[in-house]
Chains A and B, each alone.
Chain A
């Protein structure tokens, strides 16, 4: 699986031999690859006007391009804000709650993200074909897809250590601009242009996987919530700045703290059992649920669910 940003084809249909050779080198003679473009065909075409574009078939003959539009940027932030508003609105009646939920479109974005990641995973696992994922910048929806696909495909990404490694590789080192994207979250009135909850969307998708495969992830929901918190506001430097270049060495790493034996226990899933296979989630609407642990975190008590988890822990420790 490869990732990049969009090719700068531009309105004059520029070509770049080196780029073609690079992609050509990935595939063997007669092999096929898939390019998953996270923009709609329309948007990708329009991108040419501003210097971007797509890989033309003639120049990249072995690669088949698929468009799977994923929301990003402003609209995604709006979706997030709308959802949080709906969750906090005590005045909504039951007969309007679902349409409020729907109008935020957050769950649709979860479904789309999971579907696309599954598609990438399917290309690799079922079709045994290489995959190139890119959107426009290669820093948002691209990373969402590649990271999620790896959780689906690779059991080592589902361990606590492996997941941290995945985040380091596919989000932090890959240059997701955390500083811009996770600036103020959902309550701020300042509608910052660059803000967008891609990372939260990723965490939500991982949570969906943990619900559908309760035994297959080594980490618990608590880890996901902690990551969410730290992406926005952290005592640690892990999610600071926008890319490696900007990041300073003089902060402490979140991972170092999380991995201490005393801390680590809290983030483990007591039901975990190594699953060597690919985990294929269902993306039917019934299978995708609202992440109550996150969106209702401060609204209702998790006391009973916590008790249930404590009981699960107790049972498995064989007391």
Chain B
């Protein structure tokens, strides 16, 4: 469709005119005329909703909201075209069969061996071994090898040594969805463990010997403690209401030596609504500080994030400080349980704060334990009531921690944003379906590619330059302050306003520091080479001086200390009343709005996009695998070039 306008939320005057294309996998907007041929690509799987708004004099507005929080506002001249686009997008964004998904056609041009290697990058057996199991207290059970006991669990689960198959099966019959207690994390320093399950089918008075034995077995697997914490991550009221439906929670009287604890995290419906409300705040035009803060509080979003974090902190403390094992569950044990177990693991074990470790964590607590990716993130068209930003919340918890502990994580914010993006993009096969069983049935690993391999290949973009394995923050348990610390939770504009360039700092400190780090490394390597050569040649003092001055010159050349940045940006609209200056033409000051240039961009000749990378948003472009076979591209953001327009004030 031609002559379509793409509007900018922040600046009502910055509308781009271009052509809209719909392909089998993407919506693409190509801007007219600009030499850079600016394109905006959106994967259908990213589309969350499409809204047709009332036709105005300028055309028919269409609003596309994406699961990665991109909001695209188009104005299509003809109402009929708009309607056609609308209908098509609705259909394309709601695939019915898995085969319609992008991952089955995505082709990054790797051979079979490379693909398989990609899937092998994360190996959970290796991970459990790293933790220290199986050992004297814990064993692998294959009781679920054909998914016969629990179809949402993996084939291999780790259980206490004293938990026989009989106990496991019995316990599974007493648990919602048969999700019996299984090991999530084992702390080899003190034998404390984190186990996870679903709620017991206890109703008001039902008991199950095997389930009680299971919990006892877990407790006994930790000889250093004489009791076990059982943490129910639901609000007490909800848990009690479940009893009326024949489910509920563990009665301390029936289970020997447990200490029961509610940590109220709301359910998926509350979270869905919370996100919805927060996004509405993000869509406000020129909100006041008041509108924003009230709106944010009203959504409750940060409160929920804090609740998840507090639960994780409680469990981490129990394990690290008290040396007590914890059994965590919610209702079905695949949402809040996953969030809380993974936050706790992250706090406890520095390995999960490395890039590889984080991938492993998600594979373990989310993928293998049957988090319902399809239902929650809408791979396929399904029940809207199942949709909920569960993993998004976990990812945000990680970001909040990164803000509090800037040196503690090997990866950076961009890593998190890209992972979130791909959970919804269905470009890779990791997050399809609802369980390991379903994925194996669909032969996902043979037909799609692994995100982890892709991220790992590009890991240089995801590193945190401040990370040092030998620093205090990166070792041992992270101990976030629990109170008072409401203020520590910030609104994550990098995620929820990701595509609004005007809001973010124009130059990324992370990228700059990474470039400096690489530069230093290169220089050091060079110095090493020169030193070796020197030693080999056994030259005299004269040559030694030559080497030193070369190094100084080199660093000057590379402009480490000089001021080569031209940092350009444009004023936004500073007057709320939107009156205008009858003033100069928008082209005034064009030189100022050139794309960002980092000091070190001459260094990275192999990466022509470095200047784009210096803009916080443009990291997204790295994900674009522009392979000829219609390979997936992420929406390419506007690079630093804003079309210049001065603010206008009414006279």
Question: Which residues in A have some Cβ–Cβ distance to B below 8 Å?
Answer: 64, 66, 87, 89-90, 92-99, 101-102, 105, 107-108, 110-111, 115-116, 118-119, 121-123, 126-128, 211-216, 271, 273-280, 282-290, 292, 295-296, 299-301, 304-305, 307-308, 311-312, 315-316, 318
* B96 interfacial by beta-carbon distance below 8 Å: no
Given contacts A126-B647, A286-B493, 13 further A-B contacts (CB under 8 A): A89-B484, A90-B484, A97-B487, A126-B571, A126-B584, A126-B646, A128-B584, A280-B571, A284-B10, A311-B407, A312-B466, A315-B465, A318-B560
B651, CB-defined interface residue at 8 Å: yes
CB distance from B395 to the nearest CB of A (A): 18
B21 interface residue per 8 A CB criterion: no
Q: A97-B486, A280-B569 are in contact. Are A285 and B293 (CB under 8 A)?
A: yes
Per the 8 Å Cβ criterion, residues 404-419 of B in contact with A are 404-408
Flag whether B190 is at the interface (Cβ < 8 A): no
Q: Are B502 and A282 in contact (CB under 8 A)?
A: yes
In the complex, chain B residues whose CB is within 8 Å of the CB of A285: 287-289, 291-293
* Contact, CB under 8 Å: B646 / A115: no
Q: For the complex formed, measure the closest distance between the CB of B551 and the CB atoms of chain A, giving whole angstroms.
A: 10
Give the interface centre of A119, A212, A215 by most chain B CB atoms within 10 Å.
A215
Instruction: List, in ascending order, chain A residues with CB within 8 A of B575's CB.
Output: 115, 119
For residue B565, CB closer than 8 A to chain A, the reply is: yes
Specify which chain B residues have a CB less than 8 angstroms from the CB of A87 in the assembled complex: 487
Known: A299-B484, A315-B513, A315-B517. A283 touches B568 (CB 8 A): no
Question: B469-486 CB contact bits vs A (8 Å, 1 = yes)?
Answer: 001110000000101111
A128 to B405 Cα, complex, angstroms: 45
Q: Are B571 and A213 in contact, CB atoms less than 8 angstroms apart?
A: no
> Quick one: CB contact mask for B197-212 with A, threshold 8 Å, 1 for yes?
0000000000000000
Chain B 451-466, CB-CB to A under 8 Å as 1, else 0, gives 0000000000000011
Contact of A307 among B296, B407, B566, B570 (CB under 8 A): B407
The 9 closest A-B pairs by CB, nearest first: A285-B292, A98-B297, A308-B406, A274-B563, A102-B293, A97-B486, A126-B646, A280-B571, A108-B289
A126-B584, A275-B565, A304-B407 known; A111+B574 contact, CB < 8 A? no
Q: Are A277 and B568 CB-contacts (below 8 A) given A284-B503, A287-B493?
A: yes
Interface residues of B (CB under 8 A from A): 10, 282, 287-294, 296-297, 300, 302-303, 306-307, 404-408, 465-466, 468, 471-473, 481, 483-491, 493, 497, 502-507, 509, 512-513, 516-517, 520, 523, 555, 560, 563-572, 574-575, 581, 583-584, 588-589, 592, 599, 646-647, 649, 651
* B588 (CB) vs chain A CBs: closest residue: A126
Rounded to whole angstroms, the CA-CA distance of A107 and B490 in the bound complex is 14
A211 to chain B, nearest CB (A): 7
Which of A98, A110, A213, A292 is B296 in contact with, Cβ under 8 Å? A98
Tell me the bound Cα distance from A290 to B489 in angstroms.
11
Tell which of A66, A118, A213, A316 touches B506, judged by Cβ atoms closer than 8 Å: A213
The docked-state distance in angstroms from the alpha carbon of A2 to that of B481 is: 48
* Given contacts A94-B302, A115-B574, A122-B571, A107 and B293 within 8 Å (CB-CB): yes
- Distance in Å from the Cβ of A276 to the closest Cβ of chain B? 7
- Chain B residue, CB-CB nearest to A280: B571
- Distance from A2 Cβ to chain B, minimum over Cβ atoms (Å): 18
Shortest distance in angstroms between A22's beta carbon and chain B's nearest beta carbon?
23
Give the distance in Å from the alpha carbon of A272 to the alpha carbon of B98 in the complex.
Answer: 51
In the complex, what residues of B have CB within 8 A of residue A94's CB?
Answer: 302-303, 306-307, 486, 489
Q: Is the CB of B567 within 8 A of A311?
A: no
Partner of A102, one of B294, B405, B473, B481: B294
Q: Which of A95, A123, A292 contacts B300 (CB 8 A)?
A: A95
Q: List 30 A-B contacts (CB under 8 A).
A: A87-B487, A94-B302, A94-B303, A94-B307, A94-B486, A97-B487, A99-B297, A211-B505, A213-B505, A215-B565, A273-B599, A277-B566, A277-B567, A277-B592, A280-B572, A283-B572, A284-B10, A285-B292, A286-B491, A287-B493, A289-B490, A292-B487, A300-B484, A300-B485, A304-B407, A307-B473, A308-B466, A311-B407, A312-B509, A315-B513
Q: Which of B300, B407, B516, B567 contacts A279 (CB 8 A)?
A: B567
Nearest chain-A residue to B299 (Cβ)? A98
Q: Are B483 and A90 in contact (CB under 8 A)?
A: yes
Partner of B486, one of A92, A126, A216, A318: A92
Chain B residues with CB below 8 A from A307, complex form: 406-407, 471-473
A304, B401: Cα distance in complex, Å: 11
